[in-house]
Chain A
Amino acid sequence: MKLFSGRYGFPAGTVSLVLLCAAVFFSIYIIAVPIYAEDAINDAGYVETLLRDAEKKELHRDRYWHTLLHYKEAIGGVKSLVDDPKFFLSEKGRIDPQEELRATIRAFFTPKVEGERHPTCRFVARYNWLKERLGIDPARIPAGECAEIFQMVETLRPSSVILSFPTSHINSPASMFGHTLLTIETGNRSRLLAHAVNYSAITTDTFGPLYTVRGIFGFYHGYFSILPYYAKIQEYGDFDHRDIWEYRLNFNADEMRRMLYHIYELDNIFSYYYFFDENCSYSLLFLLDAARPGLALSDEFYSRFFTWVIPIDTIRGVERGSLIDSVVYRPSRVTTIRHIASRLSAENQRLALAIAAREKSTDDILKQQISTQEKILVCDLVSEYVRYQYSKGDITRAEYSDIFIKSLRTRATLGNPDSAAYTIPEPPRPEKGHLPARLAVGGGVRGDEPYQEVRLRPAYHVLLDPDDGFVEGGQIVFTDFAVRFYDREKKFELERWDMIDIISLSPRDRFIRSVSWKVNLGLKRRLLDDGDYHLVGQLNPGTGLAWKCGSFGIFYLFLEGEVDGGGDLDGRYSLGAGGSTGFIGGSARLWKFHLFARDLYSRFGEQGNEMAFALVQRFTIGTNATFVIEARRTRVSEPGGWSPAVVKNEAGGSFNFFF
């Protein structure tokens, strides 16, 4: 597996150049023979001088050396985050920067072994840097410099580097936080042809829970790979229906060259992939650090203790580092479909649907008494929509290609639209949204007991947080803790712990008929028929439908199940089912509310019925500050209603700060 396997494809001119270079080096070698004939490392004097010089300059402490080797602080020293032994020339290299530096310098002076890449090639970024810092004389390298790679990078002419951010896809838990990749544009070519550098885990596991657990605990090998950017666009924009943000970075030619050298060094080198911290987004930071000495993004996002690196945070880091030059928004297919549909009347939308369903023919478009502009939009809507249906597996390939080609054929006769039709308005940028961690401080009254509450969550977004930069209707929460202090009883109580709390409200319309879902796993206080709140563990999944009511908000209906466990429950568990419905409205920016009702019946373990109504409102103070008030009424009754129901009211407010 070779990263730059270009030597098999050099055009004639380049080949002769390479030959020329080789000839030059060879002749140097010949000239040098009398001195270095025995064994190149016999140039021991020179190597010793370099080693001493490196020591004097303390290069093993240099930040750039630590960047190239991915060293990070560890107990009693440093440790490289790279796990592949092939990446180190010294046996102790993974934990000993100085030993690795010495071994590297020595390795440069070893003779060439046929069929193997010489260390000056394999570790071209290290070589390049050490050559600069130590003034290594290339003529004294017995195997010669790696002309092949230098040449390759020259020929590639990287022109810009783009940090691409496919946003999360609301209905896919695997994409929850989004993803980042780097694309390298070359020459003045189209961005579609750029080279997408991607870091990902290699696995054949498809079983979700196993994949998740293994991903979290680092069972998978992560590798860098390169694909044409259009292949990644197909993967994210077309298949996953995820909008992509492209941040052009302001690297100059030298910096891009250094980045390519480091990518080359990481070819076929694995590190254990950790879903939360050593993930796709974190690993890309090394490439940025390698490009611009002095950058330390990989340090900024590193913690010796458990932490997580959220893709959007790395974009914020890049922005803080003043690396962003310009931003481009690339809407997904679903966004495009919605946009085109929004410019058509309901009647014309139905026409497009009927054509897609083969109830009408594309010729019917031409017969309509509508403007050419509208005919164009209908045609485009049909072709985009059948592609969407096909990618979802809703129609067969034969059905798809039939409608697709017919709609395009009609479309081709209609000329060009006014360009405004295809300018999809750019939503607020994701990095401008609120920060993922949230601290809430507040208080309220439950029943007749006043309380104060502190609530903390490290990530990421709830339905009522400010929407800008997030997918509307999406909620992802990890380990949200709420602790209360009840004034009257002078006691602290864990109010709830949402280990995972995901809600995906994916509104349906004529074209996109997606299913919404939710899942909550954690601890909560549950009102029981003794009139008290008891701590229980809960798993609460649900599935349902959501609709957008114009610009007013989202209405939803869910069927839910709930499994609870806890010492205070009859039989220590309860198994129930029910439904919920709600409306989320207001404005994304200033004020938003969530009104909902839930009805749940348990027939196993703890039996009974629980009904809850609530109104939660959020007022925006700033991008990273909100004020939330909440009112809730809960009613619990036993089955059959023999004893009177227990009813509790609760009201509270809190200031929320995002950081």
Chain B
Amino acid sequence: MKKIVCVLAMALAVFAVSELYANQSNVGCGVGSMIFQGRGGLVSQTLAITTNHILFNQSFGITSGTLNCSRFSGIVSNERVNRFVAENLDSLATDIARGSGEYLTTFAALLEVGDAERGTFCSKLQNNFSRIFTSQNVTHDEVLRNIETVLRSS
């Protein structure tokens, strides 16, 4: 209760805007369809946008407990994936190592991985854990890039 909650504007930017984006079938990262149907491009597009607009870079142990207003100072097109990974890096790493879990499922949903492909998606990430989380100081940006590399190689 003692937490001072961030100003509405920041949170609502996510509430509304990213929701709008996510509901557009061609906006956001359609990684799932790309990988499993052999189409290319979407991921790198989104990641390109991401890297151009990196606002902050998160590593383990920073993702929790540092939620504050200064961070949400802008909106990039896949802000939602970017932000989710940045703010839940530790939990996502845990779920990837385990090959299942709510954070991994959410991540898959954000990338629009279909239900049919989810199993393959999860085990692929689990099997390549060391390639994705390369060191203890890996940042969420590197993680996203590594995931892209892993998903591309089949």
Contacts and interface: CB of A to CB of B under 8 A. Distances in A.
The binding surface of chain A is classed by DSSP as helix
Contact of B11 (A13, A226, A238, A402): A226
Given A198-B5, A412-B97, A412-B130, A9 B87 contact: no
Contact of A9 (B6, B7, B16, B137): B16
B93 A195 contact: no
Nearest to B98: A411
Interface in B62-110: 62, 64-65, 67, 75, 80, 84, 87-88, 90, 93-94, 96-100, 102-103, 105-106, 109-110
A416 B125 CA distance: 13
A280 B1 CA distance: 9
B93 A13 contact: no
B96 A11 contact: no
Interface string B1-27: 111111111011111111111111001
A639 interface: no
A206 interface: yes
B127 interface: yes
B115 to A, nearest CB: 11
Contact of A401 (B1, B2, B137): B137
Contacts of B105: 190
A155 B20 contact: yes
Contacts of A175: 1
A211 B2 contact: yes
B85 to A, nearest CB: 11
Contacts of A186: 19
Contacts of A152: 16
Nearest to B126: A412
B23 to A, nearest CB: 6
B121 interface: no
Given A6-B16, A9-B75, A230-B88, A190 B109 contact: yes
B146 interface: no
Given A6-B17, A402-B136, A409-B133, A227 B11 contact: yes
B129 interface: yes
A156 B19 contact: yes
A362 to B, nearest CB: 11
B59 interface: yes
Contacts of B17: 5-6, 8-9
B109 A412 contact: no
Contacts of A26: none
B23 A157 contact: yes
A3 interface: yes
B5 A225 contact: yes
Nearest to A413: B129
B3 A200 contact: yes
A13 B24 CA distance: 9
A340 to B, nearest CB: 12
Contacts of A425: none
Contact of B2 (A9, A174, A402, A409): A174
Contacts of B137: 401
B61 interface: yes
Interface in B50-66: 59-62, 64-65
A187 B97 contact: no
Given A5-B12, A190-B109, A412-B126, A380 B98 contact: yes
A44 interface: no
A139 to B, nearest CB: 27
Contact of A156 (B16, B59, B90): B16
B135 interface: yes
Contact of B60 (A206, A226, A404, A411): A404
Interface string A183-208: 00011011111010010111110100
A1 B61 contact: no
A490 interface: no
Contact of A416 (B87, B99, B135): B99
Given A174-B1, A200-B3, A224-B8, A187 B22 contact: yes
Contact of B8 (A204, A226, A387, A408): A226
Nearest to B135: A405
B11 A1 contact: no
A189 B133 contact: no
9 contacts: A4-B12, A4-B15, A9-B75, A191-B102, A202-B5, A203-B2, A211-B2, A226-B15, A239-B65
